């Protein structure tokens, strides 16, 4: 075991605690799934490279990994970090470590929750882990289990990144379709309050854009900090991944802008409808004000009111109220026409 995996202290160990799966990739990247209870016994072959993936909630895996030579401090700082930010760091030319955000997968598929895929790798081994089942990582694992070759650890990193970008692209297409539906509702004459569903969509758009913006920033920083010392294969992966991330980030920013525009459009339309209702209420109030005043006057409990002793008093008061309301409506119309002709009202 000393040639290919010098970092693993396997003396007197039959199993690796917290290990979820282990793959050995032979010449040409041909994968071989290693049994959990006998993974270490199968690692004596010096050819190829190894991928170990751990359950980071299992504290036994932390104890085991931190006990490995050269792993202790790095594991504590990277794999078991409580930091929620995405990051990539290249300690030297042939190694890379970091944390990338991925969608959490439940039994029903990917969810809106996110978790972190944490990893450290060099040209002969990748050690990774997470606190949840992650969508992109699980998809790549399933593809490898079906025979997908991985010649180098950097190819595995690229495969996971490609799947993450595919998931994000799918999320952006779903958001765009949902915004299309809301936009159709906004453009029709019928008034619908779409603020709540639009708010949920905008939150999802912000989360997707936040992930993409973080990834774009990470790869830009990685290129700058490598100072030309990046391994050729890793540089090739970065050159392929970075433009696609930038395009997705641009699309996510455009969707966010579209969400803000739709929110402003909905607010303006609802405000216009509210003003129309207030206008109708104002007219109704003005028309009913004279009848209300007349009914109030004749409802006073005092002597010498007109028609107080007449058998037709009720009918006369109803007639006067109706006539006064009609007169008020005519006055309002005349006043409105005059104000429009004078340019004081649009």
Q: What is the CATH number of the domain that holds 139?
A: 3.30.460.20
Distance, CA of 142 to CA of 230 (rounded, Å):
30
Q: Is pLDDT larger for residue 291 or for residue 157?
A: 157
pLDDT in tens, 202-249: 899 999 999 899 889 888 888 777 666 778 888 888 889 989 999 999
Residue 96 in any domain: the answer is yes
Residue 274 in any domain: the answer is no
Cβ neighbourhood burial of 130 (10 Å; 0-12, 13-18, 19+): buried
| Domain endpoint, select from 103, 121, 151 | 151
| Domain endpoint, select from 117, 151, 185 | 151
Q: Say which CATH number the domain at 323 has.
A: 1.20.58
Residue 7 in any domain: the answer is yes
Residue written as tokens 């990834």? 215
Kindly give the residue spans of alpha helices, DSSP state H, lying in the chain: 59-66, 72-74, 135-145, 153-187, 195-226, 232-298, 313-341
Cβ neighbourhood burial of 329 (10 Å; 0-12, 13-18, 19+): middle
Split at pLDDT 50, 70, 90, the class of 188 is confident
Split at pLDDT 50, 70, 90, the class of 286 is confident
Q: Is 103 helix (H, G, I), strand (E, B) or coil?
A: strand
Residue 115 in any domain: the answer is yes
pLDDT in tens, 65-96: 777 665 656 666 677 777 778 888 887 655 78
Q: How many domains does the chain have?
A: 2
Split at pLDDT 50, 70, 90, the class of 330 is confident
Question: Which pLDDT score, from 0 to 100, does residue 295 have?
Answer: 83
Question: Which pLDDT score, from 0 to 100, does residue 6 have?
Answer: 45
- In order of 112, 173, 270, the CA distances from 248 in angstroms are 18, 11, 33
> Residue 303 is part of which domain span?
284-341
Q: Shortest CA distance to 217 belongs to which of 77, 101, 78?
A: 101
């Amino acid at each position: 075991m000393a040639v290919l995996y010098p970092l693993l202290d396997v003396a007197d160990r039959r199993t690796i605690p917290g290990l979820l799966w282990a793959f050995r990739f032979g010449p040409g990247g041909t994968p071989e799934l290693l049994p959990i209870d006998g993974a270490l016994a199968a690692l004596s072959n010096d050819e190829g490279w190894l991928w170990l993936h751990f359950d980071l909630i299992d504290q036994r895996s932390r104890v085991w990994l931190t006990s490995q030579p050269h792993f202790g401090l790095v594991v504590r700082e990277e794999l078991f970090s409580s930091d929620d930010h995405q990051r990539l760091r290249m300690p030297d030319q042939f190694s890379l470590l970091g944390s990338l955000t991925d969608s959490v997968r439940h039994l029903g598929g990917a969810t809106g929750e996110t978790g972190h895929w944490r990893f450290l790798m060099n040209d002969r081994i990748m050690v990774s882990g997470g606190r949840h089942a992650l969508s992109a990582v699980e998809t790549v694992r399933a593809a490898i289990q079906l025979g997908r070759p991985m010649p180098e650890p950097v190819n595995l990193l690229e495969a996971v990144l490609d799947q993450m970008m595919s998931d994000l692209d799918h999320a952006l297409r779903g958001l765009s379709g949902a915004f299309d539906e809301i936009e159709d509702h906004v453009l029709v004459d019928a008034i619908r309050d779409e603020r709540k569903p639009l708010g949920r969509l905008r939150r999802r758009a912000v989360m997707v854009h936040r992930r993409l913006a973080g990834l774009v920033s990470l790869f830009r920083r990685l290129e700058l900090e490598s100072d030309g010392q990046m391994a050729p294969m890793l540089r090739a992966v970065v050159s392929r991944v970075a433009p696609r991330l930038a395009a997705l980030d641009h699309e996510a920013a455009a969707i966010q802008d579209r969400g803000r525009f739709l929110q402003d459009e909905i607010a303006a339309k609802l405000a216009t409808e509210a003003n129309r209702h207030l206008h109708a209420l104002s007219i109704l109030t003005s028309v009913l004000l004279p009848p209300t005043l007349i009914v109030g006057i004749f409802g006073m409990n005092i002597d010498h009111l007109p028609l107080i002793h007449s058998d037709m008093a009720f009918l006369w008061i109803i007639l006067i109220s109706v006539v006064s309301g009609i007169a008020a409506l005519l006055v309002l119309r005349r006043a409105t026409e005059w104000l429009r002709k004078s340019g004081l009202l649009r």
